[in-house]
Amino acid sequence: MREPPVKKLLYWCRECNVPLIGRTCGCGAEGAPLELLQPYDVRPALAADMEIIRELIKKRFGIPRIPHIVLLNKTGGTDRKDLVIANGTRLGWFSFDPFQKSYSFDLAFESLPFLLSSVTKGIVDIGEPGSHSGKRIGGKKVGVKTSLPDGNVIVRSGKLHGIGQLTAGFVRIKQIGVIQTREGADPEWSLAVERNRYHLHNLERNAVRFIRQHMHDRPDANISFSGGKDSTVALELARRAGITTAYFVNTGLEFPETLEFVEKHDLQVRLFGGDFWKKVRKAGPPKKDNRWCCECLKLEPVKEWREKAGPCVTVQGNRWYESFARAGLPPLAVNPFNPAQMNISPIRNWRALEVFLYIWWRELPINPLYELGFERVGCWMCPAMLESESEHVKALHPELYSIWMEFLREYYKGKRYPEKYFSCGLWRWDVLPPKMREPGLSAMKKNSSRHK
């Protein structure tokens, strides 16, 4: 499949210290490019994520504060792994270990000019550069005496500072050099919205024009609204284009927060999914690569509705950056499950950053689950959910989490899977992928050995 024309660069205004969705800032300055990592989606770090990152950095390095504007570029990992961006450069790596149930944060070398002056701990001194064999010390493994626990550390060698990984009395130096400390402005997100106003206006104008070009391709037009951030934007754009009918499908597995959020909108059509619990007892739990639940809970109710109401154009909030499956999403596509429905995707080339900036610009309501640490909003037991998000479900709605865990234990009772199979989310795969195989199997073996 040919790669879509995704945006692989993020621009940053050095004058205002804000991210840009175009090359130029509202202040008139040219943005500096910053390379993103696949799948190139970048989003604001919201309240829950900011709190965790702030506490991890403070606990390890004594740094009392981080900038207000922090971005997350999701990357591949065992579970959650984000490249964290602040001050127009890499701040570090934010990860979740699904087996230890813990978050970690590793500082990036590029962050040191902005942070070094406020570091009070987490430093390992390896002596003067000349005390080590060879001229280069970057990449070397050096024995040290320190009471620090293993993990990410700041390395000091005379006037040089760098980043290293401490393990069992040895520090492997990743990168080291002379650091020129810097201080930048610390704006709020409101300034980022203001500085991107011109680009946001263009995004809106192009999306509304696109919808108007195709809203009459079928006799009827409507908007698919799920309660997520993308469909919130699609709803606003479609209504600006003149479409008034919107529908919501209640799968029966929606978060209480989502249902409450949906009630705040004027939606003309409410549809209901099938009996999930009846089907799951026969078909088994849906998996990441076999989400049969989408068909019976979301697609089937819409199909039945349109078979009675007739052909239509549906505005949806699908984006290229959401998943590899949507990376080739065309602007118009006939729904293969329901040919009476022509789907159009006006924000297919928007990143999550554009979505959030647009929501803030237009002062649209947003599902509170995003501020609570969820990257995406769907069903509360969705197999596509990260284990870090499943932990949020456990904390927010322990009763819902328990219902699903109890079902899984009962369904797989005859196979005698260890508890880690359920609590670490391994049930989401029929066959564990390489990234999960070694840690997943070792965790299950360790768990099994305890019960012998």
* pLDDT digits 0-9 by tens, 39-74: 999 999 999 999 999 999 999 999 999 999 999 999
Q: Is it the case that residue 230 has pLDDT exceeding 80?
A: yes
> Checking DSSP bridges between strand 341-344 and strand 332-334, what pairing results, if any?
antiparallel
pLDDT number for residue 2 = 56
pLDDT band at 433 (very low <50, low <70, confident <90, very high): confident
Phi, psi of 425 (to 5 degrees): 75, 20
Q: Lowest-pLDDT range, 28-42, 121-135, 197-211, 219-233?
A: 121-135
Q: What is the pTM of this model?
A: 0.94
pLDDT band at 293 (very low <50, low <70, confident <90, very high): very high
Q: Is it the case that residue 225 has pLDDT exceeding 80?
A: yes
* DSSP assignment letter at 3: P
Give the pair of three-digit tokens for residue 5: 């024309």
Q: What is the mean pLDDT of residues 234-242?
A: 98
pLDDT number for residue 450 = 42
88 — alpha (psi -120 to 50), left (phi > 0) or beta?
left
Length of the chain: 452
Burial of 240 (0-12, 13-18, 19+ CB in 10 A): middle
The neighbour count for residue 172, using CB atoms within 10 Å, is: 15
Q: Residues 82-136: pLDDT tens digits?
A: 999 999 999 999 999 999 999 999 999 999 999 999 999 999 999 887 665 555 6
pLDDT band at 448 (very low <50, low <70, confident <90, very high): very low
Own/partner contacts of 255-264, CB < 8 Å, gap of 24 or more, are 255/369, 255/377, 255/379, 255/380, 255/397, 256/397, 257/367, 257/368, 257/369, 257/372, 258/227, 258/367, 258/369, 258/377, 259/227, 261/227, 261/365, 261/367, 261/368, 262/225, 262/227, 264/365
Residue type at 151? Answer: G
pLDDT number for residue 137 = 72
Element housing 102 (H / E): strand 102-107
Where do the domains of the chain lie, and which CATH numbers do they carry? Answer: 9-177 (no CATH), 196-383 (3.40.50.620), 388-450 (no CATH)
Nearest Cα residue to 139 out of 187, 193, 92, 176: 176
Q: Lowest-pLDDT range, 134-148, 268-282, 285-299?
A: 134-148
pLDDT number for residue 452 = 37
pLDDT number for residue 321 = 83
Burial of 262 (0-12, 13-18, 19+ CB in 10 A): middle
Report the share of the chain in percent with pLDDT over 70. 93
